[in-house]
Copies of this chain bind each other. A is one copy, B any other.
């Protein structure tokens, strides 16, 4: 404590921070490792030993950084959902017409899959089991807020006559949502199609329809 006060004072003074960005580097690295394993093997099937092995430490040492395996899951999901809601909210607020908003929601979704596929896969796979668990109420809550943003855009589009209104908006939302997020299962960040191309092709089918005149 006292031993570190000088260091902190130095940082506060605006001096250059050598090395990493400080205290929570290790934490962040461990979370990255955990997210990767959780996404690949599933949360339950991933053992704390798996995580520790990949980090090069013993499993018990993880508990110096986190109080439980669940806390890691929590931190990853909270961060992911928080960020996502933030971006979607920004898109809704700045967007003008509903189609532009939907464009951007979809584009950003594919971009998110590109950038943090582990967190997306994790959310896709575990949110079901988490739903209803006391400590993870926020998963449902934030999920609902995100849903509302999409549905507002769709409904507004229907009212404006831009989107067809002979299909239930809620169902349309689920159609789009499932296609978009499930793409995390097959999308490869370094594959043939980049995420922008995937988004573009999806928008073409979605907007124009599969059938020609």
Interface residues of A (CB under 8 A from B): 41-42, 44-45, 99, 125, 128-129, 161-164, 166-168, 171-172, 174-176, 178-179, 182-183, 185-186, 193, 198, 201-202, 204-212
Contacts and interface: CB of A to CB of B under 8 A. Distances in A.
26 contacts: A42-B42, A42-B44, A44-B44, A45-B129, A128-B185, A163-B210, A164-B205, A164-B210, A171-B193, A171-B198, A171-B201, A171-B202, A172-B205, A174-B183, A174-B186, A175-B179, A175-B202, A175-B205, A178-B182, A178-B185, A179-B182, A182-B182, A206-B210, A207-B210, A207-B211, A208-B209
A202 to B, nearest CB: 6
B168 A212 contact: no
A87 to B, nearest CB: 22
Contacts of A210: 163-164, 172, 206-207, 209
Contact of A162 (B129, B162, B164, B212): B212
B164 A201 contact: no
Contacts of A171: 193, 198, 201-202
Contacts of A186: 174
A167 B211 contact: no
A7 to B, nearest CB: 17
B164 A211 contact: yes
Contacts of A185: 128, 178
Contacts of A166: 204
Nearest to A180: B178
A162 B213 CA distance: 8
A75 to B, nearest CB: 22
Nearest to A58: B1
A36 to B, nearest CB: 15
Contact of A211 (B128, B162, B182, B211): B162
A131 to B, nearest CB: 11
